[in-house]
Amino acid sequence: MGATIRIRLTAEETGGAYSVIEMIVPAHFPVAPLHYHEGFAERFVVLDGELEVELDGVKHKLGVNASAVAERRIQHSIRNAGAAPAHFLIVATPGGHEKFFYELIDWMNREPQWPPEDRKRMLEFGERHDSHYV
């Protein structure tokens, strides 16, 4: 699939304050469909390329050094809308969201396409990790 995910800081390493996940995704990659979280906020920080982040129905195009925050309970989606790879960080506050990504990495290595065709599996996966897909 071409996506690279690295866990940079875990909740354990930050005393529970936050987690940092680094991602590099290919052009036009659908990073995350519309969803929300009850227990944490996510900040997306673009290091290279561009992202389209939808927050509560409004699409924002983020370039290098730009960021956006999806507060708790705000519906959001993320995709690389550009023609080049996008390199970005996800900072989840408080920490713990790295558990989602540990399982996601394993799943993506086994899945022939992303997102998976079986939406029910995706919904169940999200629910286990406070990622409620809309």
- How far apart (Å, rounded) are the C-alpha atoms in residues 133 and 38? 12
Stated pTM of the model? 0.92
pLDDT at 46: 98
Number of domains in the chain: 1
Total residue count of the chain as it appears in this document: 134
The CATH number assigned to the domain holding 101 equals: 2.60.120.10
Mean pLDDT, rounded, of the chain: 94
CA distances, 35 to each of 15, 32, 123 (Å) = 26, 8, 10
The whole domain housing 115 covers: 4-133
The pLDDT tens digits of the residues spanning 32-73 come to 999 999 999 999 999 999 999 999 999 999 999 999 999 999
- How far apart (Å, rounded) are the C-alpha atoms in residues 98 and 92? 8
In the predicted structure, residue 93 carries a pLDDT above the cut 80? yes
The residue with greater pLDDT, 95 or 116, is 95
- How far apart (Å, rounded) are the C-alpha atoms in residues 18 and 98? 10
- 65's enclosing H/E stretch is none
